[in-house]
Amino acid sequence: MSPATSALDVVILAAGKGKRMHSDLPKVLHPLAGRPLLSHVLATARSLEPRRVVIVVGYGGDAVRSAIGEAGVDWVTQAPQLGTGHAVMQALPRLPRDGVILVLYGDVPLIEAATLAPLARGAARDRLALLVQHLENPRGYGRILRDGAGRVTGIVEEKDASDAERAIRETNTGIMAAPSRRLAAWLARLGNDNAQGEYYLTDVVALAAADGVAIDASTPRSADECLGVNSKAELAALERRYQMNQAARLLEAGVSIADPARFDVRGTLKCGRDVAIDVNCIFEGDVVLGDGVRVGANCILRDVTLGAGTEVKPFSLIEEARIGANARIGPYARIRPGTQLADEVHIGNFVEVKASAIGRGSKANHLAYVGDSTVGRDVNIGAGTITCNYDGVNKHRTVIEDDVQIGSDVQLVAPVTVGKGATIAAGATITEDVPPGGLTLTEKRQVTKPAWKRPRKK
């Protein structure tokens, strides 16, 4: 809000149980794109830079507080739950009377700040500002009532509406902004003489009209913004709308997405130029893909940065890692938290890397485990190699210096250091530091018993 406008306070209504969700989880905690519905609404509210945010909870209030865990939020409880007007009444004692109150809903997660800001500006001019929609099928929504001059005069809930009123297509979203002092006065005059026996927030519209207060009715920039969630089916539909919106944004920016209907962002995804993403990929947390990155089908990336030209092949899982440029990961690779891979590193199929740093040009192409290790440049780790980093109580570190060649099926029992340029023969079990250069092996004699017979079934 600019200094010329009234201070903004936000009230978020989040008290409902959500009976149609058929779940013990409070409705506002059901996830959309990996975050609770309420978290999306709260983030949008925060972007408006309000003076205060008050969240009204009811069913599962302790769980909601614990899950959201936001500092600087005032929490109030609505008990019993006697309607939306009653819910806002619970928040009023926390709010001064010298600003504007914006009312949002914890189960309407796609609302955008660009849609809400004009409502706040309208209320700052001593008006009541409503967000409305025109729907082909308005069933279940309150209808906007207007007089012959087109001025808004009230809102009627569907259960209380006449047949003629139910034919109206202009509907209430429930989102509104009002001058704080006026809203407090209107709420004090609310009654509950209706089919539900509740105190409707929408009844303040008729009170504003009766007081001669101008009422602004604006529509959202997108029809999706005001969609709420009342069932698992609606949640699933909203999830796909959200993801299609994310895909559209990336496509517009030049990212190649094989199928926007099979694509999920559960956090933030930033892409450079000429990035290509195949089907069924999931991006969680904060993910950054450099120029020319290619991500194969069925990959999961969580809190990852990939350098330019890096390719992640199908069915790979990468978590909390930084990977340099022109690296090759997968297929079927797992990169675990705390890993840093330099440029041109190759991590192949069924290789797991955990809490390790691997230097430029090094490779582990087949069936290996590299954990709690520091690996230098131009190292080749053979198939079946394992860093034995855990003694049953503590983790120990393995150091492999530059230009080391490790044969297949080698066990490196940490703590151990392999010197620069060393070669370790296949099948070796290394329990002591290996000096630079030379060949290290654990010799075993091959024995053949020619008279041995295979056991036979009786």
- 298 belongs to a structural domain: yes
- pLDDT, residue 100, reads 97
395 to 336, 367, 389, 414: CA distances (angstroms): 15, 21, 5, 8
- 244 belongs to a structural domain: no
**Contact criterion met (CB below 8 Å) for 158 and 139:** yes
Name the domain boundary from 190, 206, 226. 226
97: domain CATH number? Answer: 3.90.550.10
pLDDT-based confidence at residue 446 (cuts at 50, 70, 90): confident
- pLDDT, residue 4, reads 41
Beta bridge partners of 302: 284, 319
> Measuring CA to CA, which residue among 9, 71, 16, 74 is closest to residue 45?
9
262: domain CATH number? Answer: 2.160.10.10
Residues 196 and 68 in one domain: yes
Name the domain boundary from 174, 209, 226. 226
- pLDDT, residue 3, reads 35
Residues 282 and 188 in one domain: no
Q: Taking residues 106-117, report their average pLDDT.
A: 96
- 303 belongs to a structural domain: yes
Q: Taking residues 355-362, report their average pLDDT.
A: 98
Query: How many domains does the structure of the chain reveal?
Result: 2
Residues 87 and 34 in one domain: yes
Question: By three-state DSSP, how is residue 203 classified?
Answer: helix
- Secondary structure (DSSP) of 218-256: E--SSGGGG----SHHHHHHHHHHHHHHHHHHHHHTT-E
Q: Taking residues 401-415, report their average pLDDT.
A: 97
Asked if residue 458 has pLDDT above 90, the reply is: no
Phi, psi (deg, nearest 5) at residue 320: 45, 60
pLDDT-based confidence at residue 453 (cuts at 50, 70, 90): confident
- pLDDT, residue 115, reads 96
DSSP letter assigned to residue 86: H
- 208 belongs to a structural domain: yes
Query: In a 10 Å sphere around its CB, with 0-12 CB exposed, 13-18 middle and 19+ buried, how is residue 447 labelled?
Result: exposed
Mean pLDDT of the chain: 95
Residues 354 and 214 in one domain: no
- 390 belongs to a structural domain: yes
Cis before 331? omega within 30 = yes
- 241 belongs to a structural domain: no
- Token pair for residue 59? 């069913």
- For 233-337, strand residue ranges (E) read 256-257, 263-271, 276-277, 281-289, 294-295, 300-306, 311-312, 317-323, 328-329, 334-335
Mind listing the pLDDT tens digit for each residue in 132-188?
Answer: 999 989 988 999 999 999 999 999 989 899 999 999 999 999 999 999 999 999 999
Is 396 a catalytic site residue? Answer: no
Its pTM stands at 0.89
Kindly state the percentage of the chain with pLDDT values over 70: 99
Asked if residue 2 has pLDDT above 70, the reply is: no
- pLDDT, residue 193, reads 87
- pLDDT, residue 187, reads 97
Mind listing the pLDDT tens digit for each residue in 412-423?
Answer: 999 999 999 999
Residues 271 and 420 in one domain: yes
DSSP letter assigned to residue 390: B
Q: Taking residues 336-350, report their average pLDDT.
A: 98
- pLDDT, residue 62, reads 94
pLDDT-based confidence at residue 434 (cuts at 50, 70, 90): very high
Residues 221 and 279 in one domain: no
Q: Taking residues 239-250, report their average pLDDT.
A: 96
Residues 83 and 121 in one domain: yes
Asked if residue 282 has pLDDT above 70, the reply is: yes
- Token pair for residue 194? 């209706």
Name the domain boundary from 207, 226, 245. 226
Residues 217 and 349 in one domain: no
- 242 belongs to a structural domain: no
Give the chain's end-to-end CA distance (angstroms, integer): 88
Residues 47 and 127 in one domain: yes
Of 22, 30, 366, 396, which one is the catalytic site residue?
366
pLDDT-based confidence at residue 1 (cuts at 50, 70, 90): very low
- 457 belongs to a structural domain: no
Residues 132 and 56 in one domain: yes
**What's the domain range around 288?**
254-440
Residues 284 and 220 in one domain: no
Residues 345 and 277 in one domain: yes
Question: By three-state DSSP, how is residue 208 classified?
Answer: helix
- pLDDT, residue 6, reads 79
Phi, psi (deg, nearest 5) at residue 11: -115, 125
